[in-house]
Amino acid sequence: MCVQLVVHDWQAGLRADVWLCRTIARLGRDRAQLICYQGDLLDARGPLKAASRVQPGTLELWRLPPDLVSQASAWPTILYEDDDLLVLNKPAGIAIHPTARYHHRTVTAWLAREGFGATQPCHRLDVETSGVLLCARNPGAEITLKAAFSARETQKTYLAVVRGELGDALRIDQPLALQGARGLVAIRMVPDPDGAPATTEVLPLALAAPYEPNRSLVALRPHTGRQHQLRAHLAHVGHAIIGDKLYGMGDRWFDAWSTGADAAPHGTLDHPSHALHAWRLAITFQGRPLRFEAPPPSAFPWPAAPWQSRAWPTNSRPEAASTATDTPPLV
């Protein structure tokens, strides 16, 4: 499917990826770079790189046809609802907002179909990440919630199944930046001393699933909100999340997979999607300390439920002064 897009005179000289983001609503920079990397944006001379400068005229964007509602294997379920808040358990495989690849299989499209047209998601989850998603049902609540997320006045706890046996709690302080032209896959986040500060705490919950001895179940608490932070940090310390196509399989595998080529010569994916679940979210809203919890999906690759059995060490709690860190009762 080919879409023709116009570059106006006043847009001349913009980077191709920047121009794409400004031309297509809600298209992220990483997705724009991937479109260019795959050779799907062309001018009269051929494919444009992300750093190419666009010139006035018509460009061609080659893309797959829009997705279908019927392609979704699951839709969000409601965990909590009042006049201001709608809390969802988002399944894996559903994007938050429309992108070049997802149109109907999005949370915003589902909200519109279910009669929640004015309701807006207030934070991000990757397409393959399941779990708690907090939405605002009116503009006032949206402003308050987004400000709380921006100020890190929330506490998020994730569950992940990782490669290897991770027996001790650890704190990962490692700045991150986009790999860009430094590697084969531009959209990967990599350790970089000049990158944005990023901190993640990791608490082992269980070792050696019965069907796979070389795995660990861990709980994760991010102190910062960098792109792909949890996935990049775990891969950095040698415990990549299973099923992580971008951080667990290497650049050559991801390059082949994302372009539709045969990725098998470069490795075998150990799970259909990355095993990362947004388990709990605590926040203080209008003076009320709230905590929401979403059970992992049935496809989560751990057969038991040991995540209730261990507490965070006292000295490993986040520094944020929010009352949300006092873990109020579940709503």
Pairing of strands 57-62, 41-43: antiparallel
Query: Quick one: what percent of the chain has pLDDT higher than 90?
Result: 54
pLDDT-derived band at 279 (thresholds 50, 70, 90) equals very high
Give the count of beta carbons closer than 10 Å to the beta carbon of residue 151: 10
Give the per-residue pLDDT at 142.
95
Instruction: Tell me the pLDDT of the chain averaged across its residues.
Output: 85
Tell me the pTM.
0.77
Higher pLDDT, 326 or 268: 268
With 0-12 / 13-18 / 19 or more C-beta atoms within 10 angstroms meaning exposed / middle / buried, residue 210 is exposed
Kindly report the CATH class assigned to 2-62. Answer: alpha beta
Residue environment code for 21-35, b if the CB has 16+ CB neighbours within 10 A, otherwise e: bebbeebbbbbbbbb
Give the per-residue pLDDT at 52.
92
Higher pLDDT, 303 or 30: 30
Give the per-residue pLDDT at 134.
97
Give the per-residue pLDDT at 54.
93
Segment 108-130 shows an average pLDDT of 93
**pLDDT (tens digit, 9 = 90+) per residue, 220-237?**
999 999 999 999 999 999
Segment 131-151 shows an average pLDDT of 94
Which DSSP state fits 52?
Answer: P
The closest of 248, 255, 298, 256 to 277, measured between CA atoms, is 298
Domain range annotation of the chain:
2-62, 66-151, 154-331
Residues contacting residue 270 through CB under 8 Å, at least 6 positions apart: 163, 242, 243, 248
**pLDDT (tens digit, 9 = 90+) per residue, 193-229?**
999 999 999 999 988 765 677 899 999 999 999 999 9
Q: How far apart are CA 99 and CA 94, in angstroms?
A: 11
- Quote the CATH superfamily of domain 154-331: Pseudouridine synthase (3.30.2350.10)
Give the per-residue pLDDT at 316.
38
Give the per-residue pLDDT at 103.
73
Return the H-helix or E-strand segment holding 252. Answer: helix 251-258
The closest of 223, 231, 105, 220 to 170, measured between CA atoms, is 220
Beta bridge partners of 283: 154, 290
Q: Is 61 helix (H, G, I), strand (E, B) or coil?
A: strand
Q: How far apart are CA 85 and CA 134, in angstroms?
A: 7
Q: Does residue 163 have a pLDDT over 70? A: yes
Q: Does domain 66-151 have CATH number 3.30.2350.10?
A: yes
Segment 43-47 shows an average pLDDT of 87
- List active site positions: 126
Give the per-residue pLDDT at 261.
74
Domains 2-62 and 154-331 are alike in CATH topology: no
**pLDDT (tens digit, 9 = 90+) per residue, 289-307?**
999 999 999 889 887 665 5
Backbone torsion region of residue 143, taken as left when φ is above 0, otherwise alpha when ψ lies between -120 and 50, otherwise beta: alpha
Segment 147-173 shows an average pLDDT of 93
What torsion, rounded to 10 degrees, do the Cα atoms 138, 140, 145, 151 define? Answer: 160
Segment 144-161 shows an average pLDDT of 93
Instruction: Enumerate helices (H) and strands (E) in the chain, giving the number of each.
Output: 6, 16
